[in-house]
Amino acid sequence: MEQQVRVELHMVIDDNGQKESTTSKQSGKYFKKQNLDVLTFEEKTEDNYVIKNLITIQPEKVSIKRSGLVSMNQQFRTNHITENVYTHPHGHIHMETYTKSIRYQVGDQFSEGLLHIDYTVKLNGQDERNHALTLTYKKED
């Protein structure tokens, strides 16, 4: 099963009370395979570079893989620490992610969904910062 969806990704980073938030909206594709939900979409930077996003959602873990101008493969598992390297044009950043919670809800006929992840990230061993990621998708008419 595959369908065109409208994806909205909202991110809030709390760095000791200083909050930074970003929202992006893209068209993408949603696939359902057994106990795996997959979302794919592309982002364009201000310089017209393309970043491909592949998000896989399983009952116990979520994976966000980005490729293109930036690359990473971030894993989220509730109450676990995962590590990956975020690569961008200016170098590499070691990321240590601790996932506090994952909440995923799907609507009728998989026409819409909501994914919310609360987690902390340490970049290159610095102090951790709180992150909240909310991703919604809705079938395009």
Per CATH, domain 2-14+25-139 is 2.40.128.20: yes
CA distances from 67 to 81, 85, 86, 91, 132 (A): 22, 12, 10, 15, 22
Model pTM? Answer: 0.92
- Give the model's pLDDT for residue 59: 83
Q: Note the helical H segments in 3-131.
A: none
Q: What's the mean pLDDT when you consider all of the chain?
A: 94
> Hey, what are 16's tokens?
């000791």
Class of residue 51 by CB neighbours under 10 A (exposed 0-12, middle 13-18, buried 19+) = middle
Confirm if 50 and 42 have CB atoms less than 8 A apart: yes
Summarize pLDDT for 17-59 with one digit per residue, the tens.
899 999 999 999 999 988 899 999 999 888 889 999 999 999 8
Please answer whether residues 45 and 66 qualify as being in contact, where contact means their C-beta atoms are separated by less than 8 angstroms: no
pLDDT tens-digit map of 77-86: 999 999 999 9
